[in-house]
Structure 1
Amino acid sequence: MPDYRRLHVKGACWFFTVNLQQRQQTLLIDEIYLLKLCIKQVHQLQPFTINAWVILPEHMHCLWTLPDGDEDYSGRWRAIKKAFSRALASTEYRTASQLQRGERGIWQRRFWEHQIRDDADYLRHLDYIHQNPLKHGWVTRVQDWPYSTFHRYVAQGYYALDWCGDTNMSIHGDA
């Protein structure tokens, strides 16, 4: 069995990618209100700062900063995935292994994480998150994707509303 080693740095900022098992589904936006409710519930029980987030039909990216003295991002993801899965009817395809383990077939087992190293790394990941709907062809303008923190950053003056993700078009204010 593989030994998945993760960094555990208290109070760090992290970039995450979390995927559905079936990448051709649209479950995350079909059940967006349920997903947001599950995130909110976990956020209330195990606080963290949501720096940025984009939810696409079959995967999501986000930047979180954990509280000082806290390193348990895995527990938060486990709780979000579990709450979302339990709230859905069990209609998805499951492998023999998943059935044997009593697992659902909704999420990929693992997620990808990256500890943010510095301000430049943070800004690269922030832009990546917000341009992702455009990158995947879900919209022709970033501003048209409703399931992201992009509009919060526009309101703060960080991005122009017509920002398209091209680094030449990026407007980085003091936010």
Structure 2
Amino acid sequence: MRYRRAFVPGGTFFFTVNLADRSQRLLTEHVDVLRFAFRRVKKRHPFEISAMVVLPEHLHAIWVLPEGDADFSLRWRQIKGTFSRLLPEQSWVSQSKRDRRERTIWQRRFWEHQIRDERDFAQHVNYIHINPVKHGHVQRAADWPYSSIHKYIRAGVMSADWACDPGEGTFGERLM
């Protein structure tokens, strides 16, 4: 079966993007480089980030694309490429990749889901914000520095103690 992406101009999408080596911590260790890559691409190809979390080896985001524009793949390709080119070459690049001048630190593909309605949007925002707790990085979602939860708290949409009970997640997964 062949995977088909949902290209919806002006659509809202949830994404999961992973490093190729999930044991690396490059995204949080070089979060300023990642932020620069996002700003650079957003300037050339605008989009809105509704929610996002950056973990050491993967990230989740919800984007809203401009009216008439469905090319999220271009944006991800440019973000990944900019981030990769700006990182100092280190041991995470294998000798065989170095010999071929490759710096493939990302998984080739990414996963996207078209947001269908307000309920779907809210569930994915919650999933994004609980992710650092789910992966054991922090006890409280608000304690993770690389999350849009802080924007939601400042806006009064969520409280700082949101999801402090590490019981069930919004998708039924056990968090602890």
Same fold judged by TM-score > 0.5?
A: yes
Alignment-derived partner of residue 119 in structure 1: 118
Alignment-derived partner of residue 48 in structure 2: 49
1:128 counterpart letter in structure 2: Y
CA RMSD of aligned residues (A): 2.4
Identity %: 49
* SS class of match (1:104): coil
Unaligned runs of 5+ in 2: 171-176
* SS class of match (1:14): strand
* Residues in 1 aligned to 2:42 and 2:158: alpha-carbon distance in whole angstroms: 26
Query: CA, structure 1 residues 100+14, in 2 after alignment: closer, same or farther (shift >3 Å)?
Result: farther
Say if 2:93 is the partner of 1:93: yes
* Residues in 1 aligned to 2:95 and 2:120: alpha-carbon distance in whole angstroms: 38
Unaligned runs of 5+ in 1: 171-175
2:5 counterpart letter in structure 1: R
* Residues in 1 aligned to 2:108 and 2:168: alpha-carbon distance in whole angstroms: 37
Alignment-derived partner of residue 83 in structure 1: 82
1:93 counterpart letter in structure 2: V
Cα-to-partner distance string for 1:115-150 (whole Å, 9 max, x where unaligned): 001111000000000000000000001111000110
After TM superposition, the runs of 4+ consecutive aligned structure 1 residues lying more than 6 A away are: 165-170
Cα-to-partner distance string for 1:68-118 (whole Å, 9 max, x where unaligned): 00000000000000000111133323485x568753231000000000011
Q: What is the CA-CA distance between 1:168 and the residue it aligns to?
A: 9.1
Matches within 5 A, 1:20-169: 20-91=19-90, 92-94=92-94, 102-164=101-163
Normalising by structure 1, report the TM-score: 0.88
Say if 2:15 is the partner of 1:5: no
Q: What is the CA-CA distance between 1:156 and the residue it aligns to?
A: 1.1
